Amino acid sequence: MSGKSIVIAIALAGWFVAALVAFVIVALFDFLGIGLIGLLIAFVASQLEMDGGGIAGGGTYGASMIHHQLEVNRKMSPEQRAASRNEQSLAALSTRFFRYFGISLAVIGFGGFAYRYL
């Protein structure tokens, strides 16, 4: 087997496990489970959006780290900067979509729970 097929098999197994966990949560907790999954998706998307600054490792941002990042950006060609901005905008659109998706799942889940049980 090639390395690519192994990676695809691992990714499919991960999606299967995630789907199984989501199914169990929804089966056990009904609408509340949908709301919890929505909160989890919104939380992860918000964290990815906040951490997407180009500096790896997170934590505190010192002046030297920001200076280094600005120097790297200055040394890029205009084509590389345009490609980087395009990549960042696509990432921002994706995280925004998943954040709104998670919020809507949370509203549907908690609203359904309140409607059904309260």
- Residue-wise pLDDT for 7-25, tens only, equals 999 999 999 999 999 999 9
pLDDT of residue 49: 84
Q: How many CA atoms lie within 13 A of 43 on its CB side?
A: 7
Please provide the average confidence, as pLDDT, over all residues in the chain: 88
Report the sign of the C-alpha dihedral through residues 8, 14, 15, 20, in that order.
Answer: positive
pLDDT for residue 107? 97
The two structure tokens encoding residue 57: 């490792």
Q: What is the CA 106 to chain-centroid distance, rounded?
A: 16
pLDDT (tens digit, 9 = 90+) per residue, 60-76? 667 777 788 888 888 88
Whole-structure pTM value: 0.74
